[in-house]
Amino acid sequence: MEVSPIPIPLCFAVILFSTSHLCVFSGVAIAQNEVATRHYKFDVCDYNFKIRLQNVTRLCHTKSIITVNGKFPGPPIFAREGDRVVVEVVNHVTIHWHGIRQLQSGWADGPAYITQCPIRTGQSYVYNFTIIGQRGTLWWHAHISWLRATTYGPIIILPKLGDSYPFAKPHMEIPILFGEWWNANTEAVISQALQTGAGPNVSDAYIINGFPGLLYNCSAKDTFKLKVKPGKTYLLRLINAALNDDLFFSIANHCLTIVEADAVYVKPFKTNILLIAPGQTTNVLLKTKSHYPNATFLMSARPYFTGQATFDNSTTAGILEYTQQSKGLPVLKPTLPAINDTAFAANFSQKFRSLANDKFPVKGPNGTKFSASVNNISFSLPSTAILQSYFNGKFNGVYTTDFPSFPLVKFNYTGTPPNNTNVSNGTKVVVLPFNRSVELVFQGTIIPGAGSHPLHLHGYNFFVIGQGFGNFDPRKDPANFNLVDPVERNTAAVPSGGWLAVRFFADNPVHINLMEPLTGTMDIIILSSNNFDN
C-alpha cells in the first residue's frame, strides 16, 4: 500500500485538501422499503424570515437561543444505511452533518466558507446526500461561529433492512447528547475572544440532553431522567456536542459495553467509565439489574483537561431510575477519574478495535493571540467558499496549494518551547491525487500547554493506527502501528503531550475535506479530485 507520511505538529488543530477527489425510542417509524429518501425541513426562522430565537431557562437564567424547529437540542435525523437524506434548511446558518462521509456530495458538507457560503436571510439551501457504508450514531450541528452551542441534534443510522446489529437487539435506544450552557450570549463570548486574543470564557454548566442536572444550583427540576426496567438491555447513543471539552462519563453501579464509535462497529469491551472527545459519538449497551434496586443512580459527566487555560470544572448529571420504584430512595453517585487523568485517557482510547471480520472488514488504513496552528500555519477563512472556487476554476486569491508537509520550524515539541513559534496566517491546502493512501502523524506540542486536541475529518473516516506520548519517533514508533484491526473513526483526540497517527484513502472525488480542531481556528483542507495529472 502506497503511503504518503505527513507528520503535523499542532497546537490545537488541522484542513486537508485532496485532489480526487431528544428522544427515547423503541422502534423507528420510517418507511420499510429497502432504500428510501428521507425528507426533513430545518426551520431557523419565523414567518418574517427573522432568526428564530427560543427563550430557554437554565440555572435560573432565561435567554434567547437559536434553535432548529424550536427544539433544544434539535430534532433527530432517522435513516437506514443506503438511504438518501434531503434536508431543506431555511435561513442564515449552515449545517454540518458530522461524520457523514459525503461521497461525491461535498456541496452538502456544510462548513461555512469552505464548501458553501452561509445561507442568506430569507433563503433556503437543500442538503442532499446518501449514507454509504455507515450505521450507528452521528450528529449534525451549525457550522458558523459558535451557533453550534445550541444548534445541534442526533443522526440515527439504522442497519439496512434484513441486517441486524452485531450484538443482541436492545430493548430500547436512547440518544444522550452532552453539551455546554452559557448564561451569556455565545456569539458575544467568541467575539470577545477574537477581539482580545484570549481564550473564550468558559461555560456555566455542562448539560445532558439540554439539562444541567441536580448538581448545579437552581437545577433540580432541570435534570434528564431515564426510566428503565429490570433485566433489559438499552442502547445509549452518546454524543459529545460540547464545544471545548473531553468528558468522562459513568453510571453509578452499572457497567457499560462499548459496541460502536463514530458510526463504525468496534470489538465490544466493557467499562465502568468512558471518555468521549468533542465531536465523537459512542454507542454503549447498558444491561439493567435483574431486580428493582433500592436506589436511584446518577449518570455523571465531567471534563478531562490537562492544558493551562481556564475550563469549566463542574459536573453534569442525569438520573437513572427503575420503573415502579418508591420515592425517597438514596441516590448513588459514580466515581469519575481525576480531571487530569491522562493515564486513564490513554488506556481507554487504546481499547478500541475494529470488528475486522468478513462482514465488517478493515479497508486499509504577550502581544500574542490565542490561536491554533499546524506546521506553523494558522488557517484564515476566505471570502469565497473554497469548494465553489475550486469548482469554478477561480481559486487564485482564494487559496494556495503550498501547505507544508512537514513543520517549518522544528523543536522539541513536548519539551521547552521556543520563544518564537513563527506562526503565520494563510488559506493553504494540501493537494493529493485521487485514491492516494495517506498517513498523517499529528504531534501535540507544549504550546501554550500540553492538552488533548480533538480532530475531526469531513467527508472521510480514518483508521487510528498508533498513538503515544512524547515526540513521535519515525524510526521506532511505526513498528508498533496497529495495521490489523485499527479502529475506524471520524473524530479522534491527540493525546496530551503526545502524538496520533492515522491513515485514510483520498477516495472521495471533488470533495473538500476539513480536518479541524473542535476547539481551535486552524484547519487543514484536502481536495479530492480525479482530474489531476499527478
pTM of the full predicted structure?
A: 0.74
C-alpha to C-alpha distances, 75 to 126, 132, 513, nearest whole angstrom: 17, 22, 26
Same structural domain for residues 333 and 383? no
pLDDT of residue 515: 61
pLDDT in tens, 71-106: 999 999 999 999 999 999 988 789 999 999 998 898
Same structural domain for residues 404 and 514? yes
Q: Which of 126, 158, 190 is the last residue of a domain?
A: 158
356 Cβ contact partners less than 8 Å away, ≥ 6 residues apart: 267, 362, 484, 485
By the 10 Å C-beta count (0-12 exposed, 13-18 middle, 19+ buried), 243 is classed as: buried
Same structural domain for residues 200 and 268? yes
Element (H, E) at 219: none
| CB neighbourhood size of 288 (10 A) | 18
The SS3 of residue 278 is: coil
| Mean pLDDT for all residues in the chain | 84
pLDDT of residue 91: 80
Same structural domain for residues 381 and 509? yes
Domain count for the chain: 3
Is 299 inside any structural domain? yes
Q: Which of 93, 124, 158 is the last residue of a domain?
A: 158
Host domain of residue 478: 371-529
Same structural domain for residues 342 and 452? no
Inter-residue contact 222 to 212 (CB < 8 Å): yes
pLDDT in tens, 246-281: 999 999 999 999 999 999 999 999 999 999 999 999
Same structural domain for residues 199 and 64? no
Same structural domain for residues 311 and 262? yes
Is 14 inside any structural domain? no
Is 450 inside any structural domain? yes
Q: Is the model more confident about 411 or about 185? A: 185
Nearest to 90 by CA among 52, 138, 55: 52
Is 167 inside any structural domain? no
Is 392 inside any structural domain? yes
Inter-residue contact 430 to 18 (CB < 8 Å): yes
Q: How far apart are CA 440 and CA 400, in angstroms?
A: 20
Q: What is the dihedral of CA 287, 291, 296, 299, to 10 degrees?
A: 0
Is 75 inside any structural domain? yes
Burial 505-516 (b: 16+ CB within 10 A, else e): bbbbbbbbbbbb
CATH number at residue 73: 2.60.40.420
Q: Where are the beta strands (DSSP E) in 339-478?
A: 377-379, 424-426, 429-431, 437-444, 453-457, 462-469
Same structural domain for residues 329 and 224? yes
Is 220 inside any structural domain? yes
Nearest to 39 by CA among 88, 80, 97, 82: 88
Q: Is the model more confident about 433 or about 154? A: 154
Q: Which of 295, 315, 350 is the last residue of a domain?
A: 350
Same structural domain for residues 490 and 376? yes
Inter-residue contact 199 to 370 (CB < 8 Å): yes
Is 22 inside any structural domain? no
Same structural domain for residues 260 and 321? yes
Same structural domain for residues 203 and 326? yes
Same structural domain for residues 225 and 120? no
Q: How confident is the model at residue 11 (pLDDT cuts 50, 70, 90)?
A: very low
